Amino acid sequence: MADLRVNIAGVPFKNPVIVASGTFGFGREYDRIYDISRLGGISCKGTTLHARPGNLPPRIAETPSGILNSVGLQNPGVDAFVREELPFLAEKDITVIANIAGSQIDDYVETVRRLQGTKVDMIELNISCPNVKEGGASFGTSAKSVETITKRVKAVAEQPLMIKLTPNVTDIAEMAAAAEAGGADAVSLINTLTGMKIDIETRRPLLKNNTGGLSGAAVFPVALRMVWQVANRVQIPVVGMGGVTKWQDAVEMLLAGASAVQIGTANFTDAYTPLKVIMGIEEYLDAHGESCVTDIVGKVRPW
């Protein structure tokens, strides 16, 4: 049987399948369905310095082959995460990634500071958040901003730092390069694409926030293209996500240059998707005579 183990920036994962932030909570609910220790890793629910109630409903809307969400980072805050959720995860044989969000750089820095000395194995920085000090534009839409926030957080983080990139930019590879220049140990992509849906009878958007993040199978080709572009631009590891719903998608991501994949929206339609993907990758490697999953990373052959 093929070796599924991967190592990302010095952090070991038993297999390359990670569940994505915002779709798996802190793992408790899914652990009632199957032992989450079978997963390579968990990227926990986006966590902020202080508790957040999230956006007003409606904040989820279905779209063809996907969903729009505007949940608004509802979470209990970093202190509650450390006190109430990490002990549960520490009992599991699973790599823990803390996904961090904020509205200004100091928020990110202080949140990460409070995670030092804990059982968190890696930090994933969600830079798709609006920077309130800079007029509300996302941290991730300016190369200068990406490099700055990466440097500031890297200065306080003992754990390897992974920057989660937004696709809502002209050149995502440029943003990845800025993260690398700022000292990032890895990048993950893509976060959701901004979208909208309108009820033609009420003539109002289906989301209270008017727009939201589009995820699901519909975004996969865009995500795959961006992963390929970024993998060819930076030297640090790339974790691919965006519309991965089956093992074939995961293999495509790996071939495009991802060292691991994250599965998000597919968890809502089939809770067993991550396990099916793990099994599918293993069977693919065996069928093609590959002894290690790392042997296929970046092995796409462009025309």
Q: DSSP class of residue 303?
A: -
Euclidean distance between CA atoms 152 and 207, whole angstroms: 34
Contact 132, 103 (CB under 8 A): yes
Q: What is the pLDDT of residues 28-77, one digit of tens each?
A: 999 999 999 999 999 999 999 999 999 999 999 999 999 999 999 999 99
Q: DSSP class of residue 138?
A: B
The pLDDT score that the predictor gives to residue 150 is: 98
Contact 188, 239 (CB under 8 A): yes
CA end-to-end span of the chain, whole Å? 31
CA distances from 160 to 56, 98, 166, 215 (A): 34, 11, 20, 26
Contact 174, 167 (CB under 8 A): no
Give yes or no: 129 in active site: yes
Q: What is the pLDDT of residues 112-128, one digit of tens each?
A: 999 999 999 999 999 99
The pLDDT score that the predictor gives to residue 129 is: 84
What are the φ/ψ torsions at residue 119 (nearest 5 degrees)? -85, 10
Lowest-confidence pick of 3-7, 101-105, 126-130: 126-130
The pTM of this model reads 0.97
Integer-rounded Cα radius of gyration of the chain:
18
Catalytic residue among 11, 78, 127, 129: 129
Euclidean distance between CA atoms 60 and 286, whole angstroms: 39
Q: Which two tokens stand for residue 214?
A: 């589009």
What are the φ/ψ torsions at residue 170 (nearest 5 degrees)? -75, -40
CA distances from 135 to 103, 132, 138, 139, 168 (A): 11, 6, 9, 11, 17
Pairing of the two strands 198-199 and 6-8: unpaired
Q: Which two tokens stand for residue 71?
A: 């949940």
Q: What is the pLDDT of residues 207-217, one digit of tens each?
A: 999 999 999 99
Q: What are the domain boundaries of the chain?
A: 6-54+72-193+214-296
Q: Which residues contact 248 (CB under 8 A, 6 or more apart)?
A: 280
At residue 134 the predicted structure's pLDDT band, cuts being 50, 70 and 90, is confident
Instruction: Give the containing element (helix H, strand E) for 151.
Output: helix 143-154
CATH for 6-54+72-193+214-296 is: 3.20.20.70
Nearest to residue 44, comparing CAs of 147, 217, 162? Answer: 162
Contact 175, 162 (CB under 8 A): no
Dmax (CA) of the chain: 57
